[in-house]
A = this chain, B = another copy of it.
């Protein structure tokens, strides 16, 4: 593909050699000759001086050094344009898993598996499981008794879905995900913990994606509920009886304690923790590493531990940075005060 052909594909204005041949994609830093790269975030502009990419897609108005000797393709939305290029150049995905049950899988005769389902090697499917059209269960997966999985789901290797849990359509579970493990519930009786039975389930609705090695505990009773369109990153913990509202995103290593209710379109950043039994309003944002100990209002942005409204938290942090200097100033005032004492009490 030539630079001219790329310009024909995504539109935009070409500056430089339209005949240069392009064979792949790469970030500005990694690119070698023949690669197409792009610049969207202006923080990366300095990389233009050093990149070896043969074509860089960038904003229509992005300023570049006068002496830059790079082939440029200027477009309105460099990110979107590059996405189209990625689709063209990306290596083909691995071949689609063939439908059918691999001879090295163990599927209970009382499971209802649609003929278009692909069950990879070393999968265990227990009795009364149902799996819908076109779903792929990756190698080494485990589906417990009575679990139900919808259509067009893709489970990567080593996924566990325990008994009676419900998974909707088009759900993606990455390697090592655990759905339906017991909630952490005990009664402390006579100095010992006695296990509280966790007889509920996890319900995962349509279009959810859950990252590698994340864990979602089943309800003590009732359900832990991950609603439509929720996106969960890697190594996230979701405790029993939590509800995560539609289109909410939870970044890596965050932890949601038991019975917390999370609204729609909430953004939970990395390593956030929440206590149990609180409510996070629709559209709220919990900034990274926050420890959230109280309800968060609709649309509110909080951070810190205990998490406060963002403006308040920022004010506090700014004040904190001036604290050592303040102590100095206070000392000075006290000294002046002391010096003047004799004069004021004559």
Contact = CB atoms under 8 A, between A and B. Distances in A.
Interface of A: 25-27, 29-30, 41, 43, 83, 86-87, 90-91, 93-95, 102, 104, 106, 120-122, 124, 126-127, 138-140, 142, 144-146, 156-158, 160, 162-164, 172, 174-176, 178, 181-182, 184, 186, 191-193, 195-197, 199, 207, 209, 211-213, 215, 217, 219, 221-223, 229, 231, 233-235, 237, 239, 241, 247, 249, 251-253, 255, 257, 261, 265, 270-271, 273, 275, 277, 288-289, 291, 304-306, 315-324, 326-327, 329-330, 333-334, 336-337, 340, 343-344
Contact of A252 (B164, B207, B239, B321): B239
A73 to B, nearest CB: 16
Majority DSSP secondary structure for residues of A touching B: loop
Contacts of A289: 273, 289, 291, 305
Nearest to A331: B329
Given A139-B124, A288-B291, A340-B344, A176 B178 contact: yes
Complex copy number for this chain: 3
B163 A142 contact: no
A226 to B, nearest CB: 14
Nearest to A230: B193
Contacts of A211: 181-182, 184, 215
Nearest to A251: B184
A345 to B, nearest CB: 8
B140 A122 contact: yes
